[in-house]
Amino acid sequence: MQSLRLHDIGDLRLHEEEKPAPADGEALLRVTAVGICGSDIHWFADGGTGAASFSEPFVLGHEFAAVVESGPLTGTRVAVEPHVACGHCVQCEQGNPNLCPNHYFAGQAPQNGALRQFMCWPEAFMFPIPDTISDEAGALLEPLGVAIHTVDLGKLRTGMRVGVYGCGPIGLMVVRLAKLSGALEIFATDKLPHRLAAAQRMGATAVFPANDTAAIPEVDVAFEVAGDQGAVDTAVETCKPGGRVILCGIPSDDTTSFKASTARRKGLTIKIVRRMKHTYPRAIALAAAGLIDLDALVSHCYSLAEGAEAFQVAAARKGLKVVIKP
């Protein structure tokens, strides 16, 4: 089988490898689609995310759909939870598997991810998807889950005014979910005009270039989804006193800051998104019902052999979501 391994910053190489054999509790998967996430781009362009780095070549990819090739689910199309929690620590027992300190995560070195034709994964972390959801959309159920968790943290109520600062794929999903949650006004920002246009299609009532945000009115909940200091500043500046700021983006330099006097004077609640929890059933139901069009977010598709080009396109922020189909 073929796999795509990251050897160094910007250095992706195609490998021929043996098909893996599943261990107890695992199933063999034939990977059908893998989305390139912002964190994958950090690995590719920066050599890591936050404090995480790598010393041996490994396989990226944690947003993926597959067909089960072994065990009781053989032949089933599935979306896959990339975060495997231990299930018995305090966080897991309290219902917060995304905070499990004993987890492993697909495509987070040294754990290999999905940019390969076949892989093994625990059966308990697979979610069957209907034929109405394409392979590409199946891969996007993972970032949709992150967006759902992000909106959950915001505690949206009908009639609220919302800011979404950063309109990559997850930001666009947050815009759509805010609309579905009954937000009366949704203000979106981004540096790229084509992403602002996409935000309007997803339900934003007004869009602003990221460097021209003075006209954004006060919002009840501000979602930062850019991993950019300017977006954090906009979130804190535009959030109303007593409001909530939700930080979802991953900064390249592993640092996020805000003006303490402003946040303190306003008495803001600031929450940070850690992946997601218990969101796959809701994500699948939303996509299957046609309430969010995941296929519309897919702008580029590549083969595994074209993986290096796919990452260059994604790193340049061309289009919206880049998908690789092994």
**In this structure, are residues 65 and 32 in contact, taking their beta carbons and an 8 Å threshold?**
yes
Q: Is the pLDDT of residue 252 over 90?
A: no
Per-residue pLDDT reduced to its tens digit, 199-235? 999 999 999 999 999 999 999 999 999 999 999 999 9
Q: Is the pLDDT of residue 136 over 90?
A: yes
Tokens representing 23?
């261990």
* Closest by CA position to 236, among listed 129, 163, 176, 322: 163
Cα angle 290, 291, 292 (rounded to 5 degrees) comes to 90
87-113: average pLDDT: 97
Per-residue pLDDT reduced to its tens digit, 40-76? 999 999 888 887 889 899 999 999 999 999 999 999 9
SS3 253: coil
CB under 8 Å to 249, separation ≥6 — which residues? 38, 166, 224, 225, 226, 227, 228, 231, 232
Q: Is the pLDDT of residue 246 over 90?
A: yes
Per-residue pLDDT reduced to its tens digit, 12-23? 999 999 999 999
pLDDT at 31: 98
Q: What is the 3-state secondary structure (H, E, C) of 231-291?
A: HHHHHHHHEEEEEEEEECCCCCCCCCCCCHHHHHHHCCEEEECCCCCCCHHHHHHHHHCCC
pTM of the model: 0.96
pLDDT at 233: 97
The full set of domains in the chain, from first to last, is: 2-140+294-325 (3.90.180.10), 144-272 (3.40.50.720)
What span, in angstroms and rounded, lies between the C-alpha atoms of 326 and 323?
10
